[in-house]
A and B are shown apart, each in its own frame.
Chain A
Amino acid sequence: MMNNQPANQTDRNYLTKIFVKQYAARILLIAVLLTMMTILTFSSEYFLTLKNIKNILNLASTYILLSVGMTFVICSGGIDLSVGAIMAMSSVIMGFAMKAGIPVGPAVLFGLISGTLIGAANGFLISKVGINALIVTLSMMSIVRGSVILLTDGKPVFGFDSSFTFWGGADSIFRPLGWEGSLVNIVNPPIALALLVTFLGWIVLEKTKLGRYCFVLGSNESALQKTGVNTLFYKVLIYALSGLCAAITGFIVAARLNTCEPLAGTGYEMDAIAAVVLGGTLIQGGSGSISGTFIACLILAVMRNGLTILSISSNYQQLLTGLIVMTAVAISEIKRRKG
């Protein structure tokens, strides 16, 4: 029934309720993060040391770089299983380029472009040819991973210039400026990059047309088509963005290890999906946030670090990641059905 009272109190309250509901989940996530950190602080004296915090942030930065792109994809109602393979491909291309004598800058650029192009190919196949995103990116994962292994003969490419390994994060970004001090030392290139990508991702998702169409694609794709928007263009852009994020992650990981591994990033797609859905993005698309993803990445990093500190087998980490995805999706599905 239509409500004939003008802008009445109950509707205003409803609006506030919607905003509260929107942020409640993220506040709950922060509470979970703090609880985990408190428990770990009491369980191990090593946990709250500067060195360990840097470890956690380093780990979180790879999750974040990968998950920002995945947030766009899942918000748009899609999924990208090829990000782990793209990580390996783009880092190996960087490695080969540098071994061929190409300077670090252009070599890294080649790698980033290749990742972006693979992502764009995903988007094209999904939108233009109309194949299910799961099938396209699953096949792409296999195609790209297979190609990387063929290209490298399964062997890692390693030993690079310090201007490449700098990005892996042994040093603070402030070291070249001559700043010293324990706290600024935490901010190494991966962490700085992750913060930058988070900020840019947030801006794009919340403040631009691309972000808005991303949500609308996930909510009602045909509505967007009917208003005359070129959905193919935006879908290609979204998957290209995911490919670029994967390539950046591949770059960071290769720089950290001073090695371009053909098997790098195996299983990382699961971590990224876990972070995104744990962060409150609906798996069916249409709703989500970069800030939620960011907090969820910190939670996953603390969880993994905590399990390592407590000497719990890494197999439990995989098991837990799966449980997190399943639980987060189940909760959002139950909430959705209740309306």
Chain B
Amino acid sequence: MPETGFFLEVHDVVKEFGHVRALDGVSLSAALGEILAIVGDNGAGKSTLIKILSGVLVPDEGRIVIDGKSYTALTPKTALKAGISTVYQDLALANSRDVAANIFLGRELTKGIFLDQKRMYAQAEQLIRNLGINIPDVRMPVEVLSGGQRQGTAVARAVHQEGRFFIFDEPTAAMGLKETAAVMRLIKRLAHQGYGVIIISHNLPQVFEISDRICVMRHGKVVGIVNTAETDMEETVAMITGAVKIS
């Protein structure tokens, strides 16, 4: 694949925790408007990779190119500035605070030294509606919301952070069928609107339903990146377990 035209490129990233090599020279690229799924068994290095892309962890080696700009390490701030927004598996929500406060977290609107609550409520309401997220009132504390509504809040925050590229870490892990479908629709809509999406999931049927390409990781390495249309579940499972190797 050509290296131009990609919004996000990862080149030979290595990360070690003591003696454990969590990432062993990982390279991949992703474009805007596509959904790239990253799959792999537990311990394959998916979460470590995500943490590096979102600036939570610093890689030992390698570099990351975002929109043509090269970085050897990111911080949460620089990742956000570069346009990478991560929706964490734990959603990173403050449960006791309301939906608007969570959406604006770290980017609060102010009037002088005071928070501009009125404007934040209005904008949050607007954002929730535009994204088609079903939350009746942005003044509701997050702790009373359903799993799908909480996910929606986290997504709304990612969009509000002016992200151009979203990373979803197990977005539907603890969700019912109906909510899962709603979140999947939301992710598809983001890709249609021209955002880039990386989704990490254990749920292969879901991955096949939603993704354009699948990246398989195993033991800290990328063992293959394939077009979803050109592969099937059997082959993917074989790659995940190490029975087949494609590159």
Q: Which residues of A contact B (CB under 8 A)?
A: 1-4, 6-8, 11-12, 14-15, 18, 207-209, 212, 215-216, 218-220, 222-229, 282, 286-287
Contact = CB atoms under 8 A, between A and B. Distances in A.
Nearest to B176: A1
B97 interface: yes
Among B95, B97, B136, B179, the most chain A Cβ lie within 10 Å of the Cβ of: B136
Given A12-B136, A208-B114, A229-B106, A287 B76 contact: no
Contacts of B114: 207-208
B134 A226 contact: no
Interface in B77-104: 77, 80, 86, 88, 92-97, 101
B123 interface: no
Contacts of A228: 75-77, 80, 106
B211 interface: no
Contacts, number: 98
Contact of B136 (A8, A208, A212): A8
A224 B96 CA distance: 13
B155 to A, nearest CB: 14
Contact of B146 (A2, A15, A220): A2
Interface residues of B, number: 39
B141 interface: yes
Contacts of B92: 220, 222-223, 226-227
A4 B86 contact: no
Interface string B141-169: 10010101100000001000100000000
A2 B134 contact: yes
Nearest to B51: A226
A109 B149 CA distance: 50
Q: List 8 A-B pairs, minimum CB-CB distance, nearest first.
A: A227-B106, A228-B77, A223-B92, A11-B136, A219-B94, A286-B96, A216-B94, A228-B76
Nearest to B76: A228
Contacts of B139: 15
A10 to B, nearest CB: 9
A8 B140 CA distance: 13
